[in-house]
Amino acid sequence: MAAVLFTCAGQRVDIIEAFRQAGAVTVAADVNPLAPALYHADLHALVPRIEDDGYVPALRELVEQQGIDLIVPLTDLDQVTLARARDEVGALVLLPAAEIVERLEDKYLAHVLFEERGIASPATWLPNGVPDDAEFPLLVKARHGFGSRHIYRAADPAQLGFFLGYTPVDSIVQACLAGEEFSIDVFCDLDGRCLNAIPRTMIESKGGESIKGMTIRDQQLIDLARDVAERLQLVGPANIQCFREADGSHLLTDINPRFGGGFPLPLAAGGRYPELALALARGERPEPRLGDFREGIVMTRFFSDLSLTENGDGTLKPLAPIE
């Protein structure tokens, strides 16, 4: 039975439970003792902050102590660190090559990467490189970051100058797209082969994360996702975000090399991504199963809660129900 370490576990109870149901021993790690996903794993551990020199050694110690076979990062926060340290941690890290992770984390470098690999994306500039004839509206977006933070829509040059001065973070400027937005959840093997691609609509999102959506069988989106994933040699899960414009073209805006916020939807549609991840950890080479999912599955997410109590040793544990 494979043991899986989830880093930056946070609130991703859905992913940890899905891996357990797939047969994994789940180990969750986070710096915050109030991260709810910790208490839904078989085992959990508190680790240093990512920028701390002790972060990678702490993960390596967990790998050795718990016999970890696979490491799955659950947020963007430590992906670059893990991709660079994959030879140090002692277990398979489910991420693409460090260069790809680093460039996808930087929205300007991601745009340049897309152009280099022949992948269409909206016009994107650094703040001092916006051409005089750029068509408004334009978006000011955080160059690094996630969760749709620090995004502003500028209707004219005056607003563009204002928002570039107002935003507290390093930013890019990007053309504003008018088409319909889609997300495609892909899963690739260690050779960068796309094993499946499941498109979904973006019915509603909150804080940059999908909370309502529906799987759709759109062959153009499936083919697009496979082509993009294999051009970039993605490994493991990734969420590809794109717009379909009025002329039928598709422009990529973002790729997150991790399980997306809408993970419950491809899971419910039969994607079996946890099983594929565990197969890779066992050294297997699953065959692609593109298009093998149920269309028309609708997801609507909601808040839940977990009550904790002191464990007697300075740690916390789930509160036992009152009988």
CATH of domain 123-175: 3.30.1490
Any idea where the domains of the chain sit in the sequence? 3-93, 123-175, 178-300
Residue 152, by phi and psi: left (phi above 0), alpha (psi -120 to 50) or beta?
beta
- In angstroms, the Cα distances linking 109 to 104, 165, 170, 270 are 7, 22, 13, 34
pTM of structure = 0.94
Residue 135's contacts (CB-CB under 8 Å, 6 or more residues apart) are: 175
Write 47-54 long-range contacts (CB < 8 A, 24+): 47/7, 50/8, 50/77, 50/78, 50/81
Residue 315, by phi and psi: left (phi above 0), alpha (psi -120 to 50) or beta?
beta
Q: Beta strands 152-154 and 180-188: pairing type?
A: unpaired
CB 252 within 8 A of CB 183: no
Least confident of 48-52, 203-207, 291-295: 203-207
In the predicted model, what is the mean pLDDT of residues 181-201?
Answer: 97
* CA pair distance 73, 253, nearest whole angstrom: 22
Q: Read off the pLDDT of residues 264-313 as tens digits, 9 standing for 90 and up.
A: 999 999 999 999 999 999 999 999 999 999 999 999 988 889 999 998 88
Check pLDDT > 70 for residue 322.
Answer: no
CATH architecture of the region 3-93: 3-Layer(aba) Sandwich (3.40)
Check pLDDT > 90 for residue 88.
Answer: yes
Confidence of residue 323 (pLDDT cuts 50, 70, 90): low
Q: What are 70's two structure tokens? A: 């696979």
- To the question of domain 178-300 being in CATH 3.20.20.70, the answer is no
Residue that the structure tokens 């941690």 belong to: 89
- In angstroms, the Cα distances linking 292 to 213, 258, 318 are 18, 20, 38
